Protein backbone atom coordinates (compact mmCIF):
# COMPACT_ATOMS: atom_id res chain seq x y z
CA UNK A 1 0.00 0.00 0.00
CA UNK A 2 1.51 3.27 -1.07
CA UNK A 3 0.52 6.90 -0.74
CA UNK A 4 1.72 10.22 0.60
CA UNK A 5 2.16 10.91 4.30
CA UNK A 6 -1.24 11.47 5.87
CA UNK A 7 -3.09 9.64 3.08
CA UNK A 8 -4.69 7.16 5.50
CA UNK A 9 -2.51 4.06 5.08
CA UNK A 10 -1.73 3.58 8.77
CA UNK A 11 -5.35 4.36 9.67
CA UNK A 12 -6.48 1.55 7.36
CA UNK A 13 -4.06 -0.85 9.07
CA UNK A 14 -5.32 0.26 12.50
CA UNK A 15 -8.91 -0.48 11.42
CA UNK A 16 -7.92 -3.92 10.14
CA UNK A 17 -6.12 -4.64 13.41
CA UNK A 18 -9.12 -3.56 15.48
CA UNK A 19 -7.23 -0.64 17.04
CA UNK A 20 -9.86 1.77 15.75
CA UNK A 21 -13.47 1.13 14.73
CA UNK A 22 -14.77 2.58 11.47
CA UNK A 23 -18.24 4.15 11.57
CA UNK A 24 -19.36 1.81 8.82
CA UNK A 25 -17.96 -0.96 6.68
CA UNK A 26 -16.94 -4.58 6.37
CA UNK A 27 -13.60 -6.20 7.22
CA UNK A 28 -13.24 -9.87 6.30
CA UNK A 29 -10.30 -12.15 5.68
CA UNK A 30 -11.37 -15.22 3.78
CA UNK A 31 -14.48 -16.52 5.52
CA UNK A 32 -13.68 -14.72 8.79
CA UNK A 33 -15.75 -11.58 9.28
CA UNK A 34 -13.98 -9.27 11.71
CA UNK A 35 -16.22 -6.23 11.33
CA UNK A 36 -19.61 -5.76 9.72
CA UNK A 37 -21.25 -2.64 11.05
CA UNK A 38 -24.49 -3.45 9.21
CA UNK A 39 -24.86 -6.76 11.07
CA UNK A 40 -23.40 -5.58 14.37
CA UNK A 41 -20.28 -7.77 14.17
CA UNK A 42 -17.11 -6.37 15.71
CA UNK A 43 -14.49 -8.96 16.69
CA UNK A 44 -11.99 -7.38 19.11
CA UNK A 45 -8.46 -6.92 17.82
CA UNK A 46 -6.97 -9.51 20.17
CA UNK A 47 -9.29 -12.15 18.65
CA UNK A 48 -8.37 -11.33 15.06
CA UNK A 49 -5.74 -13.73 13.75
CA UNK A 50 -3.32 -11.16 12.44
CA UNK A 51 0.24 -10.07 12.92
CA UNK A 52 1.23 -6.42 12.93
CA UNK A 53 4.75 -5.06 12.81
CA UNK A 54 5.55 -1.34 13.09
CA UNK A 55 8.71 0.70 12.44
CA UNK A 56 9.73 -0.06 16.02
CA UNK A 57 9.35 -3.79 16.78
CA UNK A 58 8.34 -2.97 20.41
CA UNK A 59 10.11 -5.94 21.92
CA UNK A 60 9.72 -6.60 25.64
CA UNK A 61 13.01 -5.34 27.12
CA UNK A 62 12.98 -7.80 30.05
CA UNK A 63 12.75 -10.85 27.76
CA UNK A 64 15.40 -12.37 25.53
CA UNK A 65 14.84 -12.60 21.78
CA UNK A 66 13.71 -16.20 22.29
CA UNK A 67 11.42 -15.15 25.15
CA UNK A 68 9.83 -12.44 22.99
CA UNK A 69 8.88 -14.98 20.34
CA UNK A 70 7.76 -17.58 22.90
CA UNK A 71 5.45 -14.97 24.42
CA UNK A 72 3.39 -14.87 21.21
CA UNK A 73 2.82 -18.62 21.08
CA UNK A 74 -0.31 -20.28 22.44
CA UNK A 75 -0.22 -21.08 26.15
CA UNK A 76 -1.85 -24.44 25.41
CA UNK A 77 1.50 -25.58 24.04
CA UNK A 78 4.01 -27.07 26.44
CA UNK A 79 6.93 -24.84 27.39
CA UNK A 80 9.24 -27.17 25.49
CA UNK A 81 7.13 -26.90 22.31
CA UNK A 82 6.90 -23.10 22.59
CA UNK A 83 10.68 -22.92 22.94
CA UNK A 84 11.19 -25.25 19.95
CA UNK A 85 8.83 -23.25 17.71
CA UNK A 86 10.28 -19.92 18.82
CA UNK A 87 13.81 -21.12 18.08
CA UNK A 88 12.72 -22.34 14.64
CA UNK A 89 11.15 -18.96 13.82
CA UNK A 90 14.27 -17.12 14.93
CA UNK A 91 16.32 -19.46 12.72
CA UNK A 92 14.03 -18.72 9.76
CA UNK A 93 14.59 -15.00 10.32
CA UNK A 94 18.37 -15.67 10.53
CA UNK A 95 18.75 -14.57 14.16
CA UNK A 96 18.58 -17.94 15.90
CA UNK A 97 22.10 -17.44 17.24
CA UNK A 98 20.88 -14.33 19.09
CA UNK A 99 18.08 -16.01 21.04
CA UNK A 100 19.80 -15.40 24.39
CA UNK A 101 20.19 -11.63 23.86
CA UNK A 102 17.92 -8.95 25.23
CA UNK A 103 16.58 -6.27 22.84
CA UNK A 104 19.07 -3.57 23.93
CA UNK A 105 21.87 -5.87 22.73
CA UNK A 106 20.42 -6.24 19.21
CA UNK A 107 21.05 -4.05 16.19
CA UNK A 108 18.05 -2.42 14.50
CA UNK A 109 17.91 -5.11 11.82
CA UNK A 110 18.26 -7.92 14.37
CA UNK A 111 15.49 -6.46 16.54
CA UNK A 112 13.21 -6.12 13.51
CA UNK A 113 13.84 -9.77 12.60
CA UNK A 114 12.91 -10.82 16.16
CA UNK A 115 9.78 -8.67 15.92
CA UNK A 116 8.84 -10.32 12.64
CA UNK A 117 9.41 -13.79 14.11
CA UNK A 118 7.20 -12.88 17.08
CA UNK A 119 4.45 -11.60 14.78
CA UNK A 120 4.53 -14.73 12.62
CA UNK A 121 4.43 -16.99 15.70
CA UNK A 122 0.71 -16.29 16.02
CA UNK A 123 -0.08 -18.23 12.81
CA UNK A 124 -1.85 -15.19 11.40
CA UNK A 125 -4.47 -15.08 8.64
CA UNK A 126 -3.13 -11.65 7.66
CA UNK A 127 0.18 -9.86 8.18
CA UNK A 128 0.17 -6.06 8.50
CA UNK A 129 3.49 -4.26 8.09
CA UNK A 130 3.58 -0.52 8.79
CA UNK A 131 6.92 0.68 7.39
CA UNK A 132 8.86 -1.89 9.44
CA UNK A 133 12.10 -1.39 7.51
CA UNK A 134 12.23 2.40 7.33
CA UNK A 135 14.88 2.82 10.06
CA UNK A 136 17.24 0.33 8.40
CA UNK A 137 19.87 0.87 5.74
CA UNK A 138 18.88 0.36 2.10
CA UNK A 139 20.59 -3.01 1.60
CA UNK A 140 19.13 -4.47 4.80
CA UNK A 141 15.65 -3.13 3.97
CA UNK A 142 15.66 -4.96 0.65
CA UNK A 143 17.07 -8.17 2.15
CA UNK A 144 14.49 -8.24 4.95
CA UNK A 145 11.64 -7.46 2.56
CA UNK A 146 12.65 -10.38 0.34
CA UNK A 147 13.02 -12.75 3.31
CA UNK A 148 9.63 -11.78 4.71
CA UNK A 149 8.05 -12.20 1.26
CA UNK A 150 9.48 -15.70 0.92
CA UNK A 151 8.45 -16.68 4.44
CA UNK A 152 4.85 -15.50 4.25
CA UNK A 153 4.43 -16.97 0.77
CA UNK A 154 5.48 -20.33 2.16
CA UNK A 155 2.74 -19.92 4.79
CA UNK A 156 0.17 -18.81 2.22
CA UNK A 157 -0.61 -15.68 4.24
CA UNK A 158 -1.52 -12.34 2.63
CA UNK A 159 0.50 -9.27 3.60
CA UNK A 160 -0.56 -5.66 3.60
CA UNK A 161 2.61 -3.59 3.56
CA UNK A 162 2.68 0.18 4.04
CA UNK A 163 5.67 1.97 2.57
CA UNK A 164 6.76 5.16 0.86
CA UNK A 165 9.56 3.22 -0.85
CA UNK A 166 8.62 1.77 -4.24
CA UNK A 167 11.75 -0.44 -4.25
CA UNK A 168 10.62 -2.08 -0.99
CA UNK A 169 7.12 -2.50 -2.39
CA UNK A 170 8.56 -4.29 -5.43
CA UNK A 171 10.72 -6.54 -3.22
CA UNK A 172 7.80 -7.61 -1.02
CA UNK A 173 4.77 -7.52 -3.26
CA UNK A 174 3.49 -7.95 -6.75
CA UNK A 175 0.46 -5.64 -6.51
CA UNK A 176 -0.20 -2.29 -4.88
CA UNK A 177 -3.01 -0.19 -3.50
CA UNK A 178 -2.81 3.57 -3.90
CA UNK A 179 -4.37 5.44 -0.98
CA UNK A 180 -5.23 9.15 -1.18
CA UNK A 181 -7.24 11.16 1.35
CA UNK A 182 -8.32 8.02 3.23
CA UNK A 183 -9.69 6.35 0.11
CA UNK A 184 -8.23 3.50 -1.93
CA UNK A 185 -8.01 5.19 -5.35
CA UNK A 186 -6.46 2.36 -7.30
CA UNK A 187 -6.35 -1.33 -6.48
CA UNK A 188 -4.24 -4.24 -7.54
CA UNK A 189 -2.18 -2.45 -10.12
CA UNK A 190 1.03 -4.35 -10.94
CA UNK A 191 4.25 -2.94 -9.64
CA UNK A 192 6.62 -1.80 -12.43
127-172: pLDDT as tens digits:
898 888 777 777 877 787 777 788 778 878 888 888 877 777 777 7
145 and 180 in one domain? yes
135 and 112 in one domain? no
In a domain, 85, yes or no: yes
Q: Of the residues 95, 123, 151, which one is the last residue of a structural domain?
A: 123
135 and 41 in one domain? yes
Q: Is the pLDDT confidence value at 188 over 70? A: no
134 and 43 in one domain? yes
In a domain, 107, yes or no: yes
164 and 133 in one domain? yes
- Which of 6-20, 96-110, 120-134, 163-177 tops mean pLDDT? 96-110
In a domain, 55, yes or no: no
CB 22 within 8 A of CB 35: yes
Grade residue 109 by pLDDT with cuts at 50, 70 and 90: confident
Mean pLDDT of 120-124: 85
128 and 45 in one domain? yes
pLDDT on residue 192: 53
> Is pLDDT larger for residue 72 or for residue 172?
72
In a domain, 143, yes or no: yes
- CA distances to 9, 95, 145 from 160, in Å: 10, 24, 12
Mean pLDDT of 103-131: 89
As for how many domains the chain has, the answer is 2
In a domain, 54, yes or no: no
- Phi, psi at residue 94, to the nearest 5°? 65, 30
Question: How does pLDDT run across 45-71, given as a tens digit for each residue?
Answer: 888 989 888 888 889 999 999 999 999
137 and 84 in one domain? no
35 and 84 in one domain? no
Q: Domain range spanning residue 71?
A: 60-123
103 and 129 in one domain? no
Strands (E) in the chain, as ranges, are 26-29, 32-36, 41-42, 50-53, 126-130, 159-162, 175-180, 183-190
The domain that contains 17 carries what CATH number?
3.40.50.300
Grade residue 191 by pLDDT with cuts at 50, 70 and 90: low
In a domain, 67, yes or no: yes
163 and 78 in one domain? no
Q: Of the residues 102, 123, 144, which one is the last residue of a structural domain?
A: 123
- CA distances to 8, 22, 165, 186, 188 from 178, in Å: 10, 20, 13, 5, 9
CB 127 within 8 A of CB 118: no
139 and 192 in one domain? yes
pLDDT on residue 189: 54
Question: How does pLDDT run across 13-38, given as a tens digit for each residue?
Answer: 899 999 999 999 999 988 899 999 99
CA distance 159 to 136: 20
> Is pLDDT larger for residue 171 or for residue 86?
86
CA distance 118 to 171: 22
129 and 179 in one domain? yes
Q: Is the pLDDT confidence value at 118 over 70? A: yes
In a domain, 105, yes or no: yes
CA distance 29 to 21: 16
Amino acid sequence: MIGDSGAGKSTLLAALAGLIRPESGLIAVGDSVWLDTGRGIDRPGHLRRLAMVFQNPALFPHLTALGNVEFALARELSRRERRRRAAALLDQMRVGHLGHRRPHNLSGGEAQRVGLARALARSPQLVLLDEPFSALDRRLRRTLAEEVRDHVRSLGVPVLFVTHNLEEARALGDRALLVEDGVVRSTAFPLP
